[in-house]
Amino acid sequence: MDNSDFPDDAQQTERTRATVMRYHFSWKDRDLDAVMALYHPDIQYHDFFQQRCMGLAELREYVRNNLPRQPGEALEHTDRIRIDGHTAFIQYRISLQGSGGLLAFHTGEAITVRDGLIWRIHEYATLMREEREQITAGDSRPALSRLGLSARQLSLLAQDLEDYMQRAQVYLDPQLSLQQVATATGYSRNQISHLLNQVLGQSFYRYINQKRLQHLLAGLDAGNDLQRMDEQAFAAGFNSLSAFYSCFRRHTGLSPKAYLKQISLRARTQDTP
């Protein structure tokens, strides 16, 4: 197909804008049928993050799994939607909190419109680590391709996992396993393990111990007995003191004894008139 099939002019730019904005708001409103109606019968959707190309027959399930969870949920756009002739460019980010700081999927979509319908989509997503205001890219596309999860689906998995941990507090069980969490959340062991190891940068047991430590520290802030730290560690789900001390130092930079001393000193300072 040569360029004469796609004459780009101001009128075409406006026609493309109308189609792309309908597409944009159909996604935002979680209207699956409206989204599907905007795809050309010969559409090719290239998800380069998964190294996957889909036609119309495969897209309904893909779109269903990637729509927002709530009506009106907004993406964090990093640039305005740019439209030129038959092509529109959309850039946004999906933020996650990893063990080493803020993470984000930086995503871009190039959408080509033909006959008033979306004919081609090229979607790119790169995992970025934003530590100390420095951004570095990490590439885990081969593993993602095997798992069949888009960047959006990974962000939803992370949200579901965090919501489950906050709601059920299963980390208090010292025998908690990855399989138990997978069964309870409806994801596979491989999906959760990939999210934790390849995206968030921590093993399952480090992730769970971090939750246990957060629970323990919240208790200290609430006024729990400072002299019973070891007992509180076991109550929070740690199954050994060595694991507790290692986790404590890794996340606070202090030993439990030094941390308690710091708390006591701060309390005395606040009580001094």
Query: Based on C-alpha coordinates, what's the Rg of the chain?
Result: 24
| C-alpha span between 73 and 121 (Å, rounded) | 22
Work out the angle between the directed axes of helices 56-66 and 151-168 (0-180°, nearest 10): 30
The reported pLDDT for the residue numbered 139 is: 46
Residue range of the domain that includes 266: 209-271
pLDDT band at 269 (very low <50, low <70, confident <90, very high): confident
Asked whether residue 11 is domain-assigned, the answer is yes
Q: Which of 28-32, 60-64, 186-190, 224-228 has the lowest mean pLDDT?
A: 224-228
Domain co-membership, 12 together with 126: yes
pLDDT tens profile 16-35: 999 999 999 999 999 999 99
How buried is residue 70: exposed, middle or buried, by Cβ count under 10 Å (0-12/13-18/19+)? exposed
User: Is the Cβ–Cβ distance between 167 and 63 less than 8 Å?
Assistant: no
Domain co-membership, 100 together with 224: no
Q: Does pTM surpass 0.85?
A: no
37 contacts: CB under 8 Å, gap ≥ 6 = none
The domain total for the chain is: 2
Residue spans of alpha helices (H) in 186-225? 189-194, 204-221
Q: Which of 72, 75, 80, 82 is nearest to 104 (CA)?
A: 75
The reported pLDDT for the residue numbered 223 is: 67
Asked whether residue 223 is domain-assigned, the answer is yes
Asked whether residue 1 is domain-assigned, the answer is no
Domain co-membership, 159 together with 185: yes
The reported pLDDT for the residue numbered 128 is: 82
Asked whether residue 2 is domain-assigned, the answer is no
Average pLDDT of the residues in 42-59 = 94
Asked whether residue 64 is domain-assigned, the answer is yes
